[in-house]
Every structure is written in C-alpha cells, then in structure tokens.
Amino acid sequence: MQILANIVVLTSLYALVACGYVLVYKVSRVLNLAHGELMILGAYLLVATSAGIASDPLAAIALTAMFSIVVGLSVYLLLMRKMTGQPVLAAVLTTVALGILLRGAMVLIWGPQQLNVGAMISFDNASIALTDSVRVSTAALWLVVCTFLVYLGLLAFLHMSRWGMRMRASGQNALLAAQRGINLHTVYALAWTLSTFSGSLAGVLVTLDSRIDVNMAVIGLKAFPAALVGGLDSLPGALIGAGVIAALEVLLIHYVNPLLSDVVPFLVLIAILIVRPWGLYGTKEELNRV
C-alpha cells in the first residue's frame, strides 16, 4: 500500500511538471528545455520571499506564485517573443541557453549548498498517517491536491473559456488563428505564464518535501519523458504518461535497484520514441519534432 501511495505522489509531481511542457508545446510547438530550471527558480523565489518579505508559509507561497507569473511573462516578452516566426529549432535552442543561464544565475545568487526551505518559512512537513501502514508527508499531500486542482483548472480553462479555446486553436493552426484576428503574442504569453506557474508550484512543493539545490532541475528532465509518453500536446496524456513513468520508477526502485531511478524515465523515453513517437494521445501528424 505504501508503494501505491508513493506512486501517486510521484505521479503528481511528474504530472505537474509535465503539464508545463505540454502547454507550451501544444500552443507554440516549442519544446521548453528550460522548464526544469524555471521550476527550481520557483522554489528559490520562495527562499527569497521568505527571507525578505513574508514569514507566514501561506503568504510566502502565494507571493511566490505571483512572482512565478511575472517570471513566465518576462521569459516570453523578453526572450521567446523574438522567436515567434523563427524556425522552431532556434526557439528550442534559446530555451536550452536560458536553462544554462538560469542555472548559473541561481548558483551565483543562492550558492551551491543545499537549503532547507521548509525550515525557512517554518513549514511543518509532518508525516501524516493515511492508514496504519501508509504514511505521506504534508508537502506530498499538498502536491497531490495541487496537481489535481491544476489539471482540473487547466482543462476547464482550455475547453470552456474563449482564451483557452484560442490557445488550442493557435496550436492547431497559427496562421489561421492570425487570420481570425487572434493575437498570437497574447496566446503564447498566456501559455508561458501558465507553464511557469505550474512548474514553479511543483518546484516549491517538491523542495518543501526535501531540500533545495540547483541540481534538482533534473526533475524537470525526468518529467519530460512523462509528457512525451502521453503525447506532447495532450494534457490527459501527460497525466497518464506521468503515471506510467512513476509506477515503473517506484516499482523498479523497490524490487530491483534504487540506482535505477535516474535511468528508468529515459529508458521509457527511448522505447516510446521507437515504438510510437507521437505518444499515447498525441497528434500523429506531428513527427517533425526538435
């Protein structure tokens, strides 16, 4: 039973990170390889907020969420906006550069050592007993709840609001979207903002559950196979992909060898790229991926 709980928690983490990849890819066909770094930046923003502005955990997290929205918007406006209409490869390489830049900047600002964010905002990460034998941490529980809410919110937004529909429309045919008066810059900015927001949320919650250091950006890389297994442009797909990756990882760690944890997602990634490159629920035509 504890294994099942672990799988659910890890699924939530991967799913919350993966939906950031999906949002940006679905709308602009750009693969954001800086997503892991943006996620950890969210966690470091919490460090900054708690150190200077707010000491109450909830206030600090709320402020961090607002900052992450500003970060996402800035990334689009200052950097990715210039890439609109350029070849997709140029945009993807830009995100690689952004990732490296962010990583360096975060080490410069916050140092290479591990920080205990939970202690900084006096967050009580107590272990909660779900049943006699199953225990999860408070942060992990929050993670599951937040992932559920984010997915629910995103799906409702994409299918019921006009701007959500415009995001889906622009992803399907950007030229036609422009010809129907949809402002592509608004749509792309929205995608980047939502993506960075959900990523930062994941970063905050995962670092509350452990410690924070720059190398945790690798979680972003590990969540990428989850997004790809489901099909890069499908939100429900990302959720299922996250489940597949998380289940395999937890089971192999438990029954085979803990050292496998860093390898499993990428084994699945290679397998799916060979067998079904467009993923379980992705759009089949999109084979010219970068």
Partner 1 sequence: MTDILEVTELEVTYQRSIRALHGVNLRVAKGQITALLGANGAGKSTTLRAISGFIGLDNARVTAGNVRYLGEDITGLQLPKTIHKGIVLVPERDKVFTNLTVAENLEVVSTTRAEGSNWRQIEEEIFVYFPRLAKLRNKPAGLLSGGERQMLAIGSALVCKPNLLLIDELSLGLAPVIVDEIIERLRDIHARTDLSILLVEQSAAVAFALASYGFVLENGKVELEGATQDLRTNQKILELYLGTGSAGRADYLANARRRREERANV
Residues that bind partner 1 (CB under 8 A): 84-85, 162, 165-166, 168-169, 171-183
Of the candidates 275, 283, 265, the residue with the CA atom closest to the CA atom of residue 18: 265
Q: How many residues does the chain have?
A: 290
Closer CB to partner 1, 81 or 211, in the complex: 81
CB neighbour burial string for 145-163, b if at least 16 within 10 angstroms, e if fewer: ebbeebbeebeeebeeeee
The minimum distance between CB 23 and partner 1, in angstroms, equals: 15
Closer CB to partner 1, 181 or 258, in the complex: 181
The CB density around residue 16, as the number of other CB atoms within 10 Å, is 28
The minimum distance between CB 177 and partner 1, in angstroms, equals: 8
The minimum distance between CB 184 and partner 1, in angstroms, equals: 8
Of the candidates 282, 268, 183, the residue with the CA atom closest to the CA atom of residue 231: 282
Closer CB to partner 1, 79 or 253, in the complex: 79
Q: Which two tokens stand for residue 124?
A: 């009580």
The minimum distance between CB 86 and partner 1, in angstroms, equals: 8
The minimum distance between CB 169 and partner 1, in angstroms, equals: 4
Looking up tokens 């000491």, which residue turns up?
Answer: 55
Closer CB to partner 1, 91 or 120, in the complex: 91
Of the candidates 100, 88, 92, 71, the residue with the CA atom closest to the CA atom of residue 194: 71
The minimum distance between CB 82 and partner 1, in angstroms, equals: 11
Closer CB to partner 1, 65 or 165, in the complex: 165
Closer CB to partner 1, 134 or 165, in the complex: 165
Burial class (CB in 10 A: 0-12, 13-18, 19+), 143: buried
